[in-house]
Amino acid sequence: MTANMAATIPGQSARKYDLGFARWVYENIEGGDKLSMCMQCGVCSGSCPLGTEMDYGPRKLFMMVRAGMKDAVLKANTMYNCTSCYSCVVRCPRGVPVQYILQDLGRAAARMGYQEAKTTDNARFAKAFIWSTRKFGRTDERLFTFKYYLSFGLGEAIKKAMANMSIAIKLVKTKRMHLGMPHRIKGTKDLNAILAKAAEIEKREQGI
């Protein structure tokens, strides 16, 4: 059973600690059972090219898991800013599958309804990317980028599009981006059937 308590750190506001959270992570998160091997050396955070963009680097996040800081962990942007470069995984002296743990923590946060899982930049970008994949069977850079911008609201989308217009023009000039109708694959229906099946299998495996 999960135990909860409120602990106050002198000079800081009260925070909720879930003392069963580490156990839950060990048992339910992919690679979580290896988290007990972490010796807090910091090699993962020191190797991470995106560390400066994360609320907490992996080392600190793992310590927070152990401390039972469930909300702070599941609200962190760390999981969504990981680019899966695997530097941490190949360098960790204790064989902790850092990237796998981060990815699955992010998925768990989304399933639990944490808003951060939907509103971080990377979550918005991933949503637009999937939209384009479902619709065209491929990424249409222009449409999915604008779809991503639109997730911030129309005004912000126009501002962002204008700010990046010179890049778009260069991409068109160098034939890295096309004008005209979006390119589609032939079997978008089949692709969507495959994606639906994959989602069904994932839900079944997660017991949702």
Beta strands in the chain (DSSP E): 4-7, 15-18
Span from 21-29, 38-46, 123-131, 178-186 in contact with ligand SF4 (CB under 6 A): 38-46
Q: By CB under 6 A, name the one of 73, 74, 76, 96 that touches ligand SF4.
A: 96
Q: Give the residue with the Cβ less far from ligand SF4, 85 or 196.
A: 85
- The one among 3, 16, 36, 42 contacting ligand SF4 by CB under 6 A: 42
CB of 47 to ligand SF4, least distance (A): 5
Buried b (16+ CB within 10 A) or exposed e, 84-116: eeebbbeebeeebbbbbbbbbbbbbbbeeebeb
99 binds ligand SF4 (CB under 6 A): yes
By the rule CB under 6 A, 133 interacts with ligand SF4: no
Residue nearer to ligand SF4 on the CB measure, 92 or 128: 92
How many residues lie near ligand SF4 (CB under 6 A)?
Answer: 28
Contact set for ligand SF4, span 58-77 (CB under 6 A): 58-59, 62
164 binds ligand SF4 (CB under 6 A): no
Q: Count CB atoms within 10 A of the CB of residue 118.
A: 14
Cα atoms found within 13 Å of the Cα of residue 27, Cβ hemisphere only: 5
User: Cβ 116 to ligand SF4, closest distance in Å?
Assistant: 17
Nearest to 97 by CA among 20, 170, 164, 30: 30
Distance of alpha carbon 30 from alpha carbon 43, whole angstroms: 21
**What tokens does 14 get?**
């009260």
The alpha carbon of residue 167 and the mean position of all alpha carbons in its chain are separated, in whole angstroms, by: 26
Tokens (6 digits) for 100: 């796998």
| Residue 41 touches ligand SF4, criterion: CB under 6 A | yes
Residue 98 within binding range of ligand SF4, rule CB under 6 A: yes
Scan for tokens 């099946």, then name that residue: 197
Among 22, 25, 48, 64, binds ligand SF4 (CB under 6 A): 48
The residues binding ligand SF4 (CB under 6 A) are: 38-44, 47-50, 58-59, 62, 82-88, 92-94, 96, 98-99, 102
